[in-house]
Amino acid sequence: MAERTKTRRMTSFQKVLQRLAKDKMAVLCGIILLAFLLVAIFSSSLTPNDPNEVHPELRLAEPSFQYPLGNDQLGRCILSRLIAGTSTTLGNALAVLTGILVVGVPLGMYAGFKGGIVDNIIMRLVDVLCTFPSSLVALAVVGILGPGLTNIMLVLVTLWWAPLARMVRGEVLQIKEKEFVTAARCSGLSDTKIVFRHVLLNIVPPVVVYATLRVGAIIMHIAGFSFIGLGTQAPMSDWGVMLSDAREYLRFAPRMMLWPGLCIMIVAFSLNVFGEGLGEALKPGSKNLSRKEVQE
Amino acid sequence: MNTLRYICKRLLLVIPLLIVISVLAFLLSNLSSGDVASVAIRNEGGIVNDVTLAAKREELGLDKPLAVQYLNWLSKAARLDFGNSFTTKKPVIYEIGRRFPATLELALMATLIAVALSVPFALISVRYKDKLPDFIIRVLTTVGATMPNFWLGLLLLYFFAIQLGVVPVISGSKFSNIFLPAFVMSLEHMALYTRLLRGSIIQVMDSGYIKAARTKGLTYWAVMLKHALRNAVLPCMTLLTTNLSGLICGSFAIETIFSWNGIGKFAVESVKSKDLPVVEGYIMAVALTYILINLIMDIVYSYVNPRIRLEGGKS
């Protein structure tokens, strides 16, 4: 029984992959994302020079053989800083995403599955949080606790789990009405088992799509605050900080602003296209999945 | 009756926002109370020691319980009294009031540009659906939505101000310099409207009354402009208001880049220089504007689209 469901899930997973493969743009963006992720993971061994080594004599130097993208205002290797920045930028965004998922998914599932007063309380909280403008709250918190990346990340998690919980709840409400859940309940499964065996699996696709599309927004938000000097603080560095440095030397070394901005844009663009492609590929797929489970 | 209930419901929803924002703004002045007193003394040119610190704390009411302080602060805030700015020594409300019109101007201009560009883009995109112009517009809108606006701001500032020299590097708040920052701010919204409008026009074009109008012999553009666009615009309207208030809240990066003398740039500078009264005032002012815009537009929208009003009243 268990094996059979496994093979069936595999086939629907393969179907999704097949459908995704037809969307050339999404595949390309997926590869780009994977490349960035690999760079982020192995950043410490990929940097040609020490990203924090200061060379006063190479201040704002032109690109050279040893420093392919040139040097910044302190003579640091821009390429190395870019690579090191990849891991901080993506790492921080993924940390925020994890926080949003950890809070939003269980609360949304609980609200959707249980209903009643708890649902009502959670959803009113969600309604309220959704009215909060994130940049304003972030600015207020930074004002109180001082500039810093952790504060920005905390604000993003506190506010952005709400729309995710709302979406998850909607999905769960739909799944709850499906026959396979009724069947599972009739066969005497407890709520916890139904949630983990049947509901959780079915909300994975929409959550993955949502998460992919959200990471871009997280990256932009953090970079935006780093850019105005209220996010990541020295000696830590990310793409936003690099752009902030570049702004000071716009007139003398305009090429400094090129690469970090380009990286943010490529990653955000790829996430967007890949996320939408994934959503398209999963749409009929998830239906097949539930239909098959109904047949079981 | 329903309208009234709907408005009440909307009002109830914003109360928590007001409370949280006001508590945040209040904490701003109190969490680091030692700091505030010593900063205030230093700004007045006094010497910081135990005696002056205690006196200053009493003067500022920092020795009272937190709840009392909050209520005191709230009653002052209700009268728009946030004290004086540490750096300019003038009342915060004066400083903010002076800069607010520039930010509002920028947000309105950005909205205008976004609408002015997205409508023709969407129309072209639908007319040539799945052909080259549609494809180009779709790629452009995706790029527009994913390009960090502060980066685009830097690029344009470099190109137009430093390379071509057609605009000054420091915009101040002169109206003739508004277009570049407004365009940068409008881009992501323009992308969003274009996509939404495109989808909603395509949907409307499928409906019976459009087909009826076409079979009646009306030309494509007549049907499009008279019937389809009008109905397709409605779903975009709510987005417009959220975005307008979002533009006012999130203008600080662009204002900083273009040295646009609005409240956003002022707030960033104040956070950096620990000019807390200004930050407090900024947060309350922007939160109130945000709530006000959303509320007004919700009500206007409920008149334009009765379905919303009825649903809102029922639930």
Looking at residue B112, what is its pLDDT? 92
Q: Is the peptide bond before A56 cis (omega within 30 degrees of 0)?
A: no
Identify all chain B residues contacting A131, using CB atoms and an 8 Å cutoff.
Answer: 13-14, 16-17, 294
Residue range B110-130: average pLDDT? Answer: 90
CA distance A224 to A235: 18
Domains (ranges, CATH) in chain B? 102-272 (1.10.3720.10)
Q: Which of B151, B244, B273 to mutate to test binding with chain A, by most A CBs within 10 Å of its CB?
A: B151
Q: Which residue has the higher pLDDT, A31 or B10?
A: A31
What SS3 class is residue A77?
strand
Question: Is the confidence at residue B140, as pLDDT, over 80?
Answer: yes
List of residues 6+ apart from A99 with CB closer than 8 A? A153, A156, A157, A161
CA distance A223 to A217: 10
Query: Given pLDDT bands bounded at 50, 70 and 90, which one contains residue A6?
Result: low
pLDDT digits (tens, 9 = 90+) for A74-115: 778 888 888 988 999 999 999 999 999 999 999 999 999 888
Rg value, chain A, Cα? 23
What phi and psi, each to the nearest 5 degrees, are found at residue B91?
Answer: -55, 140
List of residues 6+ apart from B208 with CB closer than 8 A? none
Identify all chain A residues contacting B257, using CB atoms and an 8 Å cutoff.
Answer: 247
* A25 part of contact set with chain B, CB < 8 Å: no
Q: Which fold has domain A2-295?
A: MetI-like fold (1.10.3720)
Query: Given pLDDT bands bounded at 50, 70 and 90, which one contains residue A218?
Result: very high
Residue type, A239: W
The answer to whether A139 contacts B267, with C-beta atoms less than 8 Å apart, is yes
pLDDT digits (tens, 9 = 90+) for A224-235: 899 888 888 877
Identify all chain B residues contacting A89, using CB atoms and an 8 Å cutoff.
Answer: none
What residue segments make up the domains of chain A, in order of their start?
A: 2-295
Identify all chain A residues contacting B286, using CB atoms and an 8 Å cutoff.
Answer: 133, 136
Compute the nearest-CA separation of A144 from chain B (Å).
5
The answer to whether B148 contacts A216, with C-beta atoms less than 8 Å apart, is no
Averaged pLDDT score across all residues of chain A: 84
Q: Which residue of chain B comes nearest to A239, CA vs CA?
A: B151
Percent of chain A clearing pLDDT 90 (strictly above): 26
Tell whether pTM > 0.90. Answer: no
Task: Find, among A264, A242, A220, A225, the residue nearest to A69 by Cα.
Answer: A242
The answer to whether A140 contacts B25, with C-beta atoms less than 8 Å apart, is yes
ipTM exceeding the 0.85 mark: no
Compute the nearest-CA separation of A180 from chain B (Å).
30
Other C-beta atoms within 10 Å of B43: how many? Answer: 14
Identify all chain A residues contacting B151, using CB atoms and an 8 Å cutoff.
Answer: 243, 257, 260-261, 264-265
- Asked if A54 contacts A76 with a C-beta cutoff of 8 angstroms, the reply is yes
pLDDT digits (tens, 9 = 90+) for A7-20: 555 567 787 888 88
pLDDT digits (tens, 9 = 90+) for B47-88: 777 777 777 777 766 677 777 888 887 888 888 788 788 788
pLDDT digits (tens, 9 = 90+) for B177-225: 888 999 999 998 899 889 888 888 888 888 888 888 888 888 888 888 8
- Asked if A244 contacts A228 with a C-beta cutoff of 8 angstroms, the reply is yes
Task: Find, among B82, B87, B28, the residue nearest to A139 by Cα.
Answer: B28
Q: Which residue of chain B comes nearest to A253, CA vs CA?
A: B158
